[in-house]
Structure 1
Amino acid sequence: MTDAPAETAPPRTPVRVPLVTEPLGVMGSLRAARENVLSIIPDIATRQPMVSGRTGKRWHMVTDPDAIRRMLLENLDNYPKSLVTKNLLRPAIGESLFIAEGAHWRWQRRTAAPVFSHRNVMNLAPVMTAAARRSADRIAAAGPRAVDVAADMVRTTFDVIADVTFSGDGMFDADGVHRGIDAYIAEAGRVSLFDILGLPDWVPRPGRLMAGGAVRDMKRVADEAVEARRARGPEGVPDLLDLLLDGEDPETKRRMNTAELRDNLLTFIVAGHETTALTLGWSLYLCAFDQEVQDRARAEARAVLSGDAATGDDVARLPFIRQIIDEALRLYPPAGMVSRTAMAADTLCGREIRPGDTVILPIYALHRHHMLWDNPDAFRPDRFADRKAMPRYAYLPFGDGPRICIGASFALQEAVIILATLLARFRFTPVPGRDPDPVMILTLRPQGGVWLMAEEV
């Protein structure tokens, strides 16, 4: 008698959001969305090109790259951001680049695009290097105990954005603005039943009324800082505010007024630190999850870095670390779901789209789609060794088309610099029983933090 072959356990996968397998209904959808927006995605959306339904109003979830291309490129003006998205964010960031549509968006985009040129982004790299070094020193000083690296990444990336936005200008209360943004998101960012039912904007949303005072104070502080800089002028290397003040629409010669400058700066502060912090927190979790990947990344960093922190010039020579960041953005995209409202009749995946329909891009499901990715829930940075091999509209951490994130190159440079600096200095290992919980309200956050042991090597 021979022994039966031992069963091999399936490979462990990183934490993920459990998707829906049965219809939730209006009240069930509301409860789920208020806890975790991604939990309303049906699991079938990771296996079919399009899923449709009705929850108060008609909706469609689209994960077909050709249909997404039509929405984001070929028929862009027919799919503006949904009223739900605008209602959530307009009180905090006005009609800035993130929200504006049509001609108002186009002139702002033309004005702001030169701000994020390769030259300007490289000029800001020393700020990123200095922040990475301070982060490493804080982690080292914490001693041999568990550290919430997600919280430290928020601090690190906020240091960067505050410095590159206002050059440490004493007139600008960066922490006050940060608190105001967080207070608004905490009170107003949760989906309202009124939004799901499609009630008009003039019907008050109680949470947003509660957060109004913090937003008014935040905008007043930012307005004062803009006016002070306008009067003072630039000093040294131009920061984002200097560049925006100097910006001009090449077609109309229009410049941004104080309110437009303020709303776009607040947008850059929100989008420019939290999303990068989230990407870094998830990247460190994944490196601790897979020690072989971490060892390979550490070897690359140590072979490239000439000092104790990575620089802008090092970024192009750290391809594997960039692949880790790309894979973290695939598994945990900061904007895990994006919604649009159809303005006119259209056809997607052979299905009728009516005016007023909500058309959702469930980026989280797209990035884990079984028709587009091999073993989609697995952590495999080598997927990105040949980016040309993947369908263009199957990977959208920064969106795509004309409205692709204007700060994508800034964010990626910052993330590579910080991750390389930390991996060159520390070995990160998981804390048993402290896995993060991926939860999306406005962004996909590691609820409970990312607690890791950090040992200097």
Structure 2
Amino acid sequence: MVQSDFPVRVPLVTEPMGVLKSLQTARRNVLEILPEIATRQPMVSGRTGKRWHMVMDPDALNTILRDKLADYPKSTVTKDLLRPAIGESLFIAEGQEWLWQRRTAAPSFSHRHVMALAPVMSAAAERAVQRLEAAAGKRAVNMFDEMVQTTFEVISDVTFSGDEGFDRDGVHHAIEAYIQSTAKISLGDMLGLPSWVPRLSRIRSGGALTDMQRVADEAIQRRRASGQPNAAPDLLDLLLAGADPESGRQMSTEELRDNLLTFIVAGHETTALSLSWALYLVAGDPRVQDLARAEAQSVLEDRVAGAEDVPNLPYIRQIVDEALRMYPPAALVSRTARKADRLCGREVRPGDTVMIPIYALHRNNLLWDDPDAFRPERFADRKAIRRYAYLPFGDGPRICIGASFAQTEAVIILATLLSRYRFDPVPGRDPKPVMILTLRPEGGVWLQPDVAKANQP
């Protein structure tokens, strides 16, 4: 039987909050500033220091993310949070600077290259299975920590394969330290103060950040100096060889480093979160878990999943899609309006903050039936999902370049785990959805893996 308080939700706001209360709330969990009405309206507007709008209407989102993309660049707050770590990389760059980088990097994430890198995903899934053997039937495991380790192994192996001089643990810890120390919203951010006004926590993060960039620079320079790509080219090889098909421009070491760090951060954090929430959801719903395990065991027959298996695992994919709907890693994104506009019949002025609260969009009652319920079957017919109602990877020209990579990785790892183990929730240890930079399960995802149950018919 599914638990009555399952799945866990973010408590949304039912009364207006002032600037200071909004700041306190946002520093604890930025999603708790979302008004509950955002799950029942196409658009909500207000003022907290500066004018803002939350947009949940698919037609208006089409305007923001595609038709008038240049009029709605990423917000200054978002750029100021991330620029010290990832520079003017694909995630931050705008206009022509973004366009040439996108053209250069896109071939590295083609279907052919994702399939070629998939064995790395399968190997990491097998190592995760082996690590769980010691716990199976004996103790609970924090599957969030386990998935972070697994996905970081994947992204570091597909990025810097064979580079023994690359300090993977050092980069991993530096990334985590940077996120924890810099990603919380400051009073200056809430009041719309210019970026040159210092934010203390971001000043303090300089050491870890410098070390992370130095390690990445050294790895890139070693690869350049060797002049020899790996027998099976990794992501660094592909980007080193890549060039803008229109201008012929190639990335400098600094540009390579900024984009590789972007891919490392996004490539493991978001997939680890997707898998952690998916495991939490299936553990809380025995019916879904039984169906998923039956599919995985039928297809895999006691082996590790590979890229060739992904098309034959539709229910596992539906679980991943539903986990991304309920707990999208990038649960709130923000834009700044450059020009006057009208969205949903409402005035938008230059300088207004235009937020896309993906958490509220994915739970909007105008767009989803029983949106707080865990129902993987709602993705059985993807064509029935209205475009711009489901944005785990964004949409339009700036849709996440690694979406196919992340989806393939998540299905391979989840199918492999569910084919070997049954996961049961640990009473009293439900995760709490908390967003700082991404939507994380605060407290961890504590589950009990059991091999014996997994092998029952």
Q: TM-score range by the shorter chain?
A: over 0.9
User: Which residue, out of 65, 76, 89, partners 1:72?
Assistant: 65
1:227 aligns with 2:233: no
Residue 205 of structure 1: how far off its partner (Å): 0.7
Residue 12 of structure 1: how far off its partner (Å): 4.9
1:124 aligns with 2:120: no
SS at match of 1:106: helix
Q: How many residues align?
A: 449
Residue 307 of structure 1: how far off its partner (Å): 4.3
1:84 aligns with 2:73: no
- When residues 12 and 180 of structure 1 are mapped into structure 2, their CA distance, relative to the original with a 3 A threshold, is closer
User: Which residue, out of 4, 11, 14, partners 1:18?
Assistant: 11
Aligned amino acid, residue 120 of structure 2: V
Aligned amino acid, residue 438 of structure 1: P
Q: Deviations over 1:381-439 (max 9, x none)?
A: 00000010111000000000000000000000000000000000001011000100000
SS at match of 1:52: strand
Residues 164-175 of structure 1 aligned to structure 2 (within 5 Å): 164-175=158-169
1:111 aligns with 2:104: yes
Check conservation: 1:133, 1:309, Cα contact below 8 A.
yes
Q: Deviations over 1:132-162 (max 9, x none)?
A: 0100111112241111111100000000000
Check conservation: 2:147, 2:275, Cα contact below 8 A.
yes
> Mean alpha-carbon deviation: is it higher for 373-382 or for 12-21?
12-21
The residue aligned with 2:201 is 207
1:348 aligns with 2:343: yes
Check conservation: 1:429, 1:454, Cα contact below 8 A.
yes
SS at match of 2:215: helix
The residue aligned with 2:25 is 32
Residues 363-442 of structure 1 aligned to structure 2 (within 5 Å): 363-442=358-437
The residue aligned with 2:95 is 102
Residue 11 of structure 1: how far off its partner (Å): 5.9
The residue aligned with 1:322 is 317
C-alpha distance in structure 2 between counterparts of 1:48 and 1:352, whole Å: 16
C-alpha distance in structure 2 between counterparts of 1:49 and 1:177, whole Å: 41
Q: Deviations over 1:169-202 (max 9, x none)?
A: 1121111111111111111111011011000011
User: Which residue, out of 299, 302, 324, partners 1:304?
Assistant: 299
User: Which residue, out of 142, 155, 159, partners 1:161?
Assistant: 155
Residue 166 of structure 1: how far off its partner (Å): 0.3
SS at match of 1:132: helix
- When residues 10 and 270 of structure 1 are mapped into structure 2, their CA distance, relative to the original with a 3 A threshold, is closer
1:179 aligns with 2:184: no
The residue aligned with 1:5 is none
Residue 131 of structure 1: how far off its partner (Å): 0.3
Q: Deviations over 1:98-147 (max 9, x none)?
A: 00000000000000000000000000111000100100111112241111
Check conservation: 2:302, 2:419, Cα contact below 8 A.
no
Aligned amino acid, residue 103 of structure 2: R
C-alpha distance in structure 2 between counterparts of 1:427 and 1:142, whole Å: 12
Q: Any stretches of 5+ residues in structure 2 without a counterpart?
A: none
Residue 236 of structure 1: how far off its partner (Å): 1.1
TM-score of the aligned structures, taking structure 1 as reference length: 0.97
The runs of at least 4 aligned residues of structure 1 exceeding 2 Å deviation read 9-13
SS at match of 1:359: strand
SS at match of 2:201: helix
The residue aligned with 2:134 is 141
Q: Any stretches of 5+ residues in structure 1 without a counterpart?
A: 1-8
Q: Deviations over 1:231-265 (max 9, x none)?
A: 11212100000000000000000000000000000
Residue 306 of structure 1: how far off its partner (Å): 4.1
Q: Deviations over 1:35-66 (max 9, x none)?
A: 00100000000000000000000000000000
C-alpha distance in structure 2 between counterparts of 1:96 and 1:341, whole Å: 19
Aligned amino acid, residue 288 of structure 1: A
SS at match of 2:323: helix
Residue 308 of structure 1: how far off its partner (Å): 2.3
The residue aligned with 1:198 is 192
Aligned amino acid, residue 21 of structure 1: T
C-alpha distance in structure 1 between counterparts of 2:393 and 2:347, whole Å: 27
Superposed CA RMSD: 1.1
C-alpha distance in structure 1 between counterparts of 2:430 and 2:195, whole Å: 39
User: Which residue, out of 446, 449, 455, partners 2:444?
Assistant: 449
Check conservation: 1:162, 1:168, Cα contact below 8 A.
no
Check conservation: 1:32, 1:39, Cα contact below 8 A.
yes
Check conservation: 1:13, 1:377, Cα contact below 8 A.
no
SS at match of 1:393: coil
C-alpha distance in structure 2 between counterparts of 1:254 and 1:434, whole Å: 52
C-alpha distance in structure 2 between counterparts of 1:434 and 1:27, whole Å: 31
User: Which residue, out of 330, 337, 350, partners 1:335?
Assistant: 330
C-alpha distance in structure 1 between counterparts of 2:430 and 2:9, whole Å: 11
C-alpha distance in structure 2 between counterparts of 1:285 and 1:386, whole Å: 24
Check conservation: 1:37, 1:440, Cα contact below 8 A.
yes
Residue 228 of structure 1: how far off its partner (Å): 0.5
Residue 330 of structure 1: how far off its partner (Å): 0.1
C-alpha distance in structure 2 between counterparts of 1:91 and 1:29, whole Å: 25
User: Which residue, out of 266, 270, 277, partners 1:275?
Assistant: 270
Check conservation: 2:39, 2:360, Cα contact below 8 A.
yes
Aligned amino acid, residue 265 of structure 1: L
